[in-house]
Amino acid sequence: MIRQFISSALIISSSLFVAAQSPTTYDPATEIAITGTIKALASFPAADGSVGVHFDLRTADAGLISIHVAPAMYIGKENFWFFADDKVTIIGSRVSVDGNTSIWVKSIQKGSDMLVLRNADGTPKWSGDDGIDGCGVNHLPIARGTER
C-alpha cells in the first residue's frame, strides 16, 4: 500500500513538473546555421512511449552545443539516421529553457542527404507539439554534458 502511494506521488509530481514547464516555441527569426561533428547521441523516452532525439555537436568556434532534433519515429519514418562522428550542418533556432541553451533543429544536412524537420514558420513537420524542449517529446529533463 505504501509503495503504491509513493509510486502515485512520484507520477503525479512528475506530471506537474512537466506541466509547469514554460511553453517555448521555435522562432524562425533567430535561425542560425552551424556545422560540426556529432559527439554523443541521446534518446529520451516519455511516459506515452514516444522518444525524443538529442545530440551534442562539437563545433570549431562554439565548442559543444546541445541539439534537440525530433521524435525518433519521425526521423525513422523519413529514413534518416545519425551516428557519433557524423559531420552535419544544422539550421535551427537557439532557444533557452530553464537556463539551458540549445538549438532546436529545422533541417539537418549529412553529406548530400537533408532531413527537413520544420516548416518555414517553424512548426514541426511531425504531428503534435514541440514537447517541452523542442524534440517533440514531453520527457522529464535529464542532465547531460551540455545541459544543467
pLDDT of 129 strictly over 80: no
Q: Could you list the residue range(s) of the whole structural domain that residue 38 is in?
A: 24-148
From the number of C-beta atoms within 10 Å of its C-beta (0-12, 13-18, 19+), residue 4 rates as: exposed
Give one word for 142, left, alpha or beta, with left for phi > 0 and alpha for psi -120 to 50.
beta
Name every residue whose Cβ is closer than 8 Å to that of residue 123 and which is 6 or more positions away in sequence.
26
- 4 part of a folded domain: no
- 126 part of a folded domain: yes
Residues 60-97 pLDDT 10s:
988 899 999 999 989 999 999 999 999 999 999 998 87
Q: In which band, very low, low, confident or very high, does the pLDDT at 23 lie, cut at 50, 70 and 90?
A: low
- 148 part of a folded domain: yes
- 136 part of a folded domain: yes
Number of domains in the chain: 1
- 3 part of a folded domain: no
CATH number for 89: 2.40.50.140
Q: In which band, very low, low, confident or very high, does the pLDDT at 34 lie, cut at 50, 70 and 90?
A: very high
C-alpha cell at 33: 546555421
Q: What's the Cα-to-Cα distance from 19 to each of 12, 23, 116, rounded to whole Å?
A: 10, 9, 28
- 1 part of a folded domain: no
- 5 part of a folded domain: no
Sign of CA dihedral 131, 134, 136, 140: negative
- 12 part of a folded domain: no
pLDDT of 43 strictly over 80: yes
Tell me the C-alpha distance between 35 and 107, whole Å: 12
SS3 148: coil
